[in-house]
Amino acid sequence: MYDVSCLLMISVCQQIVVGSSLNYQTLANKDLMPGILPISSSILLPHYCTTSRHIVRMAAAHTTSAGVSLEAMPIKPPSHPTYDLKGIIKLALAEDAGVRGDVTCMATIPFDMEVEAHFLAKEDGIVAGIALAEMVFQEVDPSLKVEWSRKDGDYVRKGLQFGRVYGRAHSIVVAERIALNFMQRMSGIATLTKAMADAASPAYILETRKTAPGLRLVDKWAVLIGGGRNHRLGLFDMVLIKDNHISIAGGISNALKAVDQYLERENLQMEVEVETRTHEEVKEVLQYASQTKTSLTRIMLDNMVVPLANGDVDVSMLKEAVDLINGKFETEASGNVTLETVHKIGQTGVTYISSGALTHSVKALDISLKIDTELALEVGRRTKRA
């Protein structure tokens, strides 16, 4: 199943959007698109510290990771029908190792040497990606032992040692950067999400599909860890009628009618949201819903938060729209959402507030993995990073 919003628009308009070498009938052919992307050849992955190689094909299925139980995680990743979390880890490791493996560790570290390394927070924030980092270490070397004094979603302060890994030095050094890349990005997302979610209350904070390509599930997992909620995972699990769908369909009423007909014809039940940009569009949606049995569940109120010259925002248009809807449907505010504006938006009575900034321009949380922690702390204090 692909973009249900687009499929139903095409069904009504009886046309294929021009501008792509693939038409929608091609996209709907499951034989041509078995997973997120068609994979026609195997991915060549090296052993990460040696020059021998093995073949791995990325599976189009939700998988558990070796040595890490999803059930044991305090906050589980979102469920996705085609996303292969273990495959993403393999790709990240292969990207780092190339065809030779880690030439520096092979040159400088005795093969059988064992060490202990500690995770060190270099700034305050919400830690996220602990479970994913453990999956990375297990993928590189199942014999590595990882222990944590904090869990995903916990607050960490600058200078805190919150976990350790011990075992073969080669394996730890190879896994280090990939584990930290995931953790730093996820922790940055979780930290901002926590701040936004607290400020937005009683409204709920959502991310969008503005995620790093290939890291959709990872980014959305971090939002959950930070106390936010997930918007749709992709084009397949929710109908979201946006401005371009409305323009193609010839108006909001036409688009809503197309959705209702499509879902009935395909015997599908899923959430349906429509984007509105004016009070007139909100009224048209409400009029349609009053006259027709509809699958509509949520109305997006887009760019109804108006920036002011003094840096504040005017939320009166948004508040009026929420009052018009009067609880008949869930509401979602979108546009001009920042840490500074989200509290005021949340006081309008809107159900949800969505923010692309949670994932599209995240600032990573500074975390390191050090063997000589005393020296690392000394340097950190000198640079004000520990």
From the list 123, 219, 273, 275, the catalytic residue is 273
Contact by Cβ (8 Å): 222, 244: no
The Cα–Cα gap between 291 and 272 comes to 17
Instruction: Give me the pLDDT at residue 10, please.
Output: 53
Instruction: Give me the pLDDT at residue 21, please.
Output: 37
From the list 76, 151, 164, 242, the catalytic residue is 242
Residue 177's nearest CA partner among 110, 117, 113 is: 117
From the list 177, 209, 277, 319, the catalytic residue is 177
Instruction: Give me the pLDDT at residue 382, please.
Output: 79
The residue among 80 and 19 whose pLDDT is bigger is 80
- Asked whether the predicted pLDDT for residue 98 surpasses 80, the reply is yes
Q: Is 76 a catalytic residue?
A: no
From the list 176, 260, 302, 366, the catalytic residue is 302
- Give the mean pLDDT of the chain: 86
Q: How far is CA 109 from the centre of its chain?
A: 37
> How crowded is the C-beta side of 19, counted as CA atoms within 13 Å?
1
Alpha-carbon Rg for the chain in angstroms: 24
Q: Is 302 a catalytic residue?
A: yes
For the chain, give every domain's residue range.
85-189+365-383, 198-361
Q: Is 332 a catalytic residue?
A: no
Q: The domain 198-361: what is its CATH number?
A: 3.20.20.70
Q: How far is CA 226 from CA 135, 155, 180, 322, in A?
A: 20, 10, 18, 27
Find out if CATH 3.90.1170.20 is the number for domain 85-189+365-383: yes
The helix, strand and coil proportions of the chain, stated in percent and rounded to the nearest 5, come to 40, 15, 45
Contact by Cβ (8 Å): 259, 245: no
Contact by Cβ (8 Å): 93, 178: yes
The Cα–Cα gap between 19 and 333 comes to 31
Domains 85-189+365-383 and 198-361 share a fold: no
Tell me phi and psi for residue 290, to 5 degrees: -75, -20
pLDDT interval class at 28 (50, 70, 90): very low
- Asked whether the predicted pLDDT for residue 291 surpasses 80, the reply is yes
Please give the span between the terminal C-alpha atoms of the chain, in angstroms, as a whole number: 48
Q: How far is CA 365 from the centre of its chain?
A: 16
311-315-317 Cα angle (round to 5): 130
Instruction: Give me the pLDDT at residue 378, please.
Output: 75
Q: Is 319 a catalytic residue?
A: no
Amino acid, single-letter form, for residue 13: C
From the list 209, 210, 277, 283, the catalytic residue is 210
Q: Which helix (H) or strand (E) holds 138?
A: helix 130-140
Q: Is 86 a catalytic residue?
A: no
Residue 304's nearest CA partner among 290, 323, 291 is: 323
What are 273's strand-pairing partners?
Answer: 240, 298
